[in-house]
Amino acid sequence: MNYIIKKILCGVIYIISAILLSGCLRQIDTAESLFAALASSVPAQAPEPRPESVKTTAPAASSAGATREPSPAVTPSPAAQIPAPTPSPSRTPPAATPSPAIPEPSATPEEIDIENESDPGQRERGQIIMPEVIYTPDSRYGSPYDADGQLSDKQRSWYFMRNANHQPPDAMRDFDIKQFGGYYLGDINQKRVYLTFDEGYENGYTGAILDTLREYGVQAAFFLTKPYIKSNPELVARMVAEGHIAANHSVNHYSFPDLSNDEIEYELTECADYFTEMTGAQMDMFFRPPEGNYSARTLYTTHTFGYKTIFWSFAYLDWDVNNQPGKEAAYNNVINNLHNGMIMLLHAVSSSNTEALPEIIETILEMGYSFGSLYEL
């Protein structure tokens, strides 16, 4: 009897379980249908475009050797829009307004920078800071180039034209020497005078000249040959110690248009190197061509070695030791030709210059002029 009852109960339980399971399955189907209906009512949205990867520079390791771990990638918000990068404005400077230029052959080399706006007082001895401004030759002058486009090697001898009204004199117009680092005047808008001496050999007067310059506090430029440096180390050392410019006048005092470029290099570097060997100082990077002879090629070549070529706006026949004009004539020659920006060439072998120098300096100062440095050019 008990066995029969157990079988009946098992059957009832089975039937009830089947009924309950069937109801659950129907509910699940209903829920899935409901979710499907809701999903079909929402419009589909296109995926956001993936932003391009950006390359970054890896940070340098610290002094302790530690490295920085890479940051995890960040997924952008679906609604975020990555704007296209805005191009940077052009950095190309506007074209400069061309200055009047000399017509040149088609093979004209690039013009040479020569302007310099740096403070002369900040330079060290022997240092020429090459300028940033490109110099345009004065169109009133001729061309330094031959018909084939090469720099002219025609020898020229420097000259200037005096005037009686204390105005800066005109000078050679074959071509504009300034485009190749050549100068014969300082600032013509200022009452400024630049005193220079050529020293090819010693005639016993340089010591007295240095005494006068020290007494009046005037700086001068001395253009020295190698033989002069070798024969007069004490005077050269004194020039350096007393703050004067010690500049290059070559080794052998040859006419530079007669020399090759390699020979020009030797004349410049050998003189400068020997000066440094004797004094421990660097030679100031100014050059005066022997005998005033030059060509477009020699000026260009000299400038490529860092030199400024210094001509003059005043000189007179003072170098002939056997035909000295005397103190008064030397004084009158200088004062009667005084002008703004004057680059004065005197020869230190002249007894007349040496005797007149104190009065020359006094009168120049009394007339409202001051003495300048070639580093102002």
Q: pLDDT (tens digit, 9 = 90+) per residue, 328-349?
A: 999 999 999 999 999 999 999 9
Average pLDDT over residues 60-83: 35
pLDDT the model gives residue 273: 98
pLDDT tens-place string over residues 161-184? 999 899 999 998 889 999 999 999
**Any domain includes 231:** yes
Q: How far is CA 264 from CA 14, 218, 234, 305, 374, in A?
A: 121, 32, 27, 10, 22
**Residue 189, domain extent:** 126-158+169-376
**Any domain includes 79:** no
Reported as a pLDDT band with limits 50, 70 and 90, residue 93 is very low
Helices (H) and strands (E) in the chain, counts: 8, 12
Tokens standing for 239? 């020039």
**Any domain includes 75:** no
**Any domain includes 132:** yes
Average pLDDT over residues 15-40: 48
**Any domain includes 230:** yes
Percent of the chain past pLDDT 70, that is, above it, reads: 64
**Any domain includes 281:** yes
* Cβ–Cβ under 8 Å, residues 287 and 325: no
Q: Does 376 score more than 90 pLDDT?
A: yes
pLDDT the model gives residue 151: 92
Q: Which positions are annotated as active-site residues? A: 198, 347
Average pLDDT over residues 247-267: 97
Residue 9: CB partners within 8 Å, gap ≥ 6? none
**Any domain includes 95:** no
Instruction: Tell me 70's DSSP state.
Output: P
If you search the block for the tokens 């440096």, which residue do you land on?
Answer: 229
CATH number at 320 reads 3.20.20.370
Average pLDDT over residues 124-143: 61
**Any domain includes 26:** no
Average pLDDT over residues 218-223: 98
pLDDT the model gives residue 192: 97
Provide the mean pLDDT of the chain: 76
pLDDT the model gives residue 9: 63
Q: How many domains does the chain have?
A: 1
Percent of the chain past pLDDT 90, that is, above it, reads: 60
pLDDT the model gives residue 138: 76
Q: Does 265 score more than 50 pLDDT?
A: yes
Instruction: Tell me 94's DSSP state.
Output: P
Q: How far apart are CA 12 and CA 1, in angstroms?
A: 17
pLDDT tens-place string over residues 287-338? 999 999 999 999 999 999 999 999 999 999 999 999 999 999 999 999 999 9
Question: What sign results for the dihedral spanned by CA atoms 225, 228, 234, 235?
Answer: negative
pLDDT the model gives residue 11: 62
Q: How far apart are CA 257 and CA 293, in angstroms?
A: 7
Reported as a pLDDT band with limits 50, 70 and 90, residue 217 is very high
pTM summary value: 0.66
Q: How far apart are CA 313 and CA 172, in angstroms?
A: 11
